[in-house]
């Protein structure tokens, strides 16, 4: 078994048996454990009372956090040539048609998000095995299949992103960086929590949230009281 470092042991001691009932105190503790040698990502892990194998218990949606997540995303756009100029002006990093499809087929994926116009979707069908596992397949539900390229690209550049529950019903999602201010992290966390709550699947009966944890990418989990004021 790997031996824990002094930093890890100190962080575990700070968070052992702690259940935070105040959001501000939770964020303060979170930042105290963000002591790796780089700026850590801050994450929310929400265990939900859902079974995603049923269509009415799936959670997949988008959210725009007020302070972003501290990451610049590279956007690729698959569309007709007459839309290339519009996509580039709007901030797309990669714009293409059949040439972009060929690159994706070869596994040359140099983007974090793929946006497509509806007429290009039939051409993407064969790439489901490549894009699907990476979570890059465009879909109308996630807002990445669109006829309005300008607004869509602008929204995602501002920090809009998609999240979904995994097959066990847990949502793992970033809501900022450890160098954000406490206020920025609190605002982002509240917005993310509200998004999960407002997109409660219709098939959920009774209690929706089973547990809530926040952590940094290299830090221990901090449990939040489910009755915390968010």
The angle formed by the CA atoms of residues 118, 126 and 157, to the nearest 5 degrees, is 45
- What is d(CA 19, CA 30) in angstroms, rounded to the nearest whole number? 12
| 75-157: CATH architecture | 3-Layer(aba) Sandwich (3.40)
Average pLDDT in the 132-157 region?
A: 91
Residues 6+ apart with CB under 8 A from 191: 63, 65, 66
Please provide the average confidence, as pLDDT, over all residues in the chain. Answer: 91
* pLDDT over 90 at 10, yes or no: no
Q: pLDDT value at position 9?
A: 73
Average pLDDT in the 173-181 region?
A: 95
Q: pLDDT (tens digit, 9 = 90+) per residue, 185-204?
A: 999 999 999 999 999 999 99
Confidence band, pLDDT 50/70/90 cuts, at residue 141 = confident
Q: pLDDT value at position 29?
A: 93
Q: pLDDT value at position 83?
A: 95
Q: Hey, where are the domains in the chain?
A: 17-69+161-224, 75-157
Confidence band, pLDDT 50/70/90 cuts, at residue 93 = very high
Q: What pTM did the predictor assign?
A: 0.79
Q: pLDDT (tens digit, 9 = 90+) per residue, 18-65?
A: 788 899 999 999 999 988 889 999 999 999 999 999 999 999 898 999
Average pLDDT in the 163-173 region?
A: 94
Homologous superfamily (CATH) of 17-69+161-224 is Ribosomal protein L1/L10, rRNA-binding domain (3.30.190.20)
Q: pLDDT (tens digit, 9 = 90+) per residue, 96-117?
A: 999 999 999 988 999 999 999 9
Q: pLDDT value at position 2?
A: 66
Q: pLDDT value at position 208?
A: 95
- What is d(CA 60, CA 52) in angstroms, rounded to the nearest whole number? 10
- Quickly list DSSP for the chain: -PPPPHHHHHHHHHHTT-EE-SHHHHHHHHHHT--SSS--EEEEEEEES--TTSGGG--EEEEE-TT--S-PPPEEEE--GGGHHHHHHTT-SEEESHHHHHHHHTT----SEEEE-GGGHHHHGGGHHHHTTTT----TTTT-B-S-HHHHHHHHHTTEEEEEB-TTSEEEEEEEETTS-HHHHHHHHHHHHHHHHHT--TT--S--EEEEEEEETTS--EEEPTT---
Confidence band, pLDDT 50/70/90 cuts, at residue 1 = low
């Amino acid at each position: 078994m790997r031996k824990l470092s002094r930093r890890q042991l100190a962080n575990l001691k700070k968070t052992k048996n702690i259940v935070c009932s105040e959001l501000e105190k939770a964020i303060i503790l979170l930042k105290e454990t963000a002591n790796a040698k780089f700026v850590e990502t801050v994450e929310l892990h929400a265990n939900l009372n859902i079974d995603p194998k049923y269509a009415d218990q799936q959670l997949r949606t988008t959210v725009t956090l007020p302070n972003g997540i501290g990451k610049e995303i590279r956007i690729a756009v698959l569309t007709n040539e007459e839309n290339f100029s519009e996509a580039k002006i709007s901030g797309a990093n990669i714009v293409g048609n059949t040439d972009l499809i060929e690159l994706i087929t070869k596994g040359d994926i140099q983007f974090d998000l793929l946006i497509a116009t509806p007429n290009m979707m039939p051409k993407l069908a064969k790439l489901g095995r490549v894009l699907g596992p990476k979570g890059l397949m465009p879909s109308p539900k996630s807002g990445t299949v669109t006829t309005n390229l300008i607004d869509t690209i602008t929204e995602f550049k501002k920090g809009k992103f998609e999240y979904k529950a995994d097959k066990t019903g847990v949502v793992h999602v970033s809501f900022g960086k450890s160098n954000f201010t406490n206020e920025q992290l609190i605002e982002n966390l509240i917005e993310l929590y509200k998004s999960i709550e407002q997109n409660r699947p219709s098939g959920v009966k009774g209690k929706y949230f089973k547990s809530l944890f926040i952590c940094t990418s290299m830090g221990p989990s901090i449990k939040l009281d489910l009755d915390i004021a968010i």
